[in-house]
Amino acid sequence: MATISLTFFGKRLKNPVMNASGTLGYSNEIESLWGVETLGAYVTKGLSLRPHHGNPTPRVWDERSGMINSIGLQNVGIERFFDEHFPFFQKKRTPVIVNFFGFTEEEYLDCARRIKPDRLIVALEMNLSCPNIKAGGISFGKDPQTVYEIVKKVKGITPIPVLAKLTPEVKNIVDIARAAYEAGIDGLTLINTMPAAIVDIKRKRVPIKGGFSGPALKPIALRAVYECSKAVPVPIIGVGGIMDADDAVSFLMAGASAVQVGSATFVDPYAIPKIIEGIGRYADKNGCRNLHEIIGITHE
């Protein structure tokens, strides 16, 4: 039998599958169907220094090849998360990746500073798709110099490994990955959603503008993983349109050490446990003893 466990930043994960940030609540929301201890690691919803209300409804929209969300980063804030939700993961002994963001550089730093090292915290995941209100709302992740500066500062204030989660809405994502690497990033999460909109032709209105995710994002995410994994020597978590185990294996082959699953859970709430099982089945069927025999093995 293949082992699909891995060591990630020195912590043992039982498998390479995580939920994507913002798609599985704060902690126990999926418990009536399956337990979070099933995951390699649980990724928190995006957390900020202070609670944030988010956007008016509609906040999600079903689209032919994926979905649009306009949650607007609503969250209870970093302190309430640690008071009310973190004990659940301690009880479940489930590794956690803390996704966080800020609307200013100082907010990123203050938020990262409040997250204390814990044996269950595998890494912090910086969401760099957030608008910088001091730079006219342009997201931090769009400019290599801005990415370099913010990553360097965050790395300087936390002893916890840091992943940069990058936006695909850039000229060349490899340049952004390189800037993060030069600033000392420990790993990358690729990719966040693409900006999108819907037009309601009956009402002649745009009912939602937001981030597009799901199957149509997969080839874009795969290319980002493939190219960045060749350009920077840090672990990569692949995310974008993973709907089944074959999709997950394709990300591992492209160079991801682990994967995250988001929109698939909206289609089938059991998608994650099915994907975990399917990766094990793939490895057994193909005579792979461990994930190292799959990760990054593809070429042109």
Ligand X SMILES: Cc1cc2nc3c(=O)[nH]c(=O)nc-3n(C[C@H](O)[C@H](O)[C@H](O)COP(=O)(O)O)c2cc1C
132, 146, 213, 250: which one binds ligand X (CB under 6 A): 213
Q: Is 130 a catalytic residue?
A: yes
When asked if residue 167 is in the footprint of ligand X (CB under 6 A), the reply is: no
User: Which of residues 15, 48, 69, 250 is near ligand X by CB under 6 A?
Assistant: 69
Residue 132 is a binding residue for ligand X (CB under 6 A): no
The catalytic residue among 111, 130, 228, 288 is: 130
C-alpha distances (whole Å) from 154 to each of 112, 120, 163, 192, 218 are 7, 20, 11, 20, 29
**73 within 8 A of 46, measured Cβ to Cβ:** yes
* 232 forms part of the interface with ligand X (CB under 6 A): no
Residues 270-299 that bind ligand X (CB under 6 A): none
Binding of ligand X at residue 127 (CB under 6 A)?
yes
Work out which of 8, 16, 23, 176 binds ligand X, going by CB under 6 A: 23
CA 35, chain centre distance (Å): 19
Asked if 240 is part of the footprint of ligand X (rule: CB under 6 A), the reply reads yes
* CA separation for the pair 190, 101 (Å, rounded): 16
Q: Considering only residues 123, 140, 165, 234, which one is a binding residue for ligand X as defined by CB under 6 A?
A: 165
Shortest CB 216 distance to ligand X, Å = 9
Nearer to ligand X, 187 or 262 (CB): 262
The verdict on 76 binding ligand X (CB under 6 A) reads no
Show which residues are catalytic.
Answer: 130
The residues that touch ligand X, with contacts defined as CB under 6 A, are: 20-23, 45-46, 60, 67, 69, 71, 73, 99, 127, 165, 192-193, 213-214, 217, 239-242, 261-264
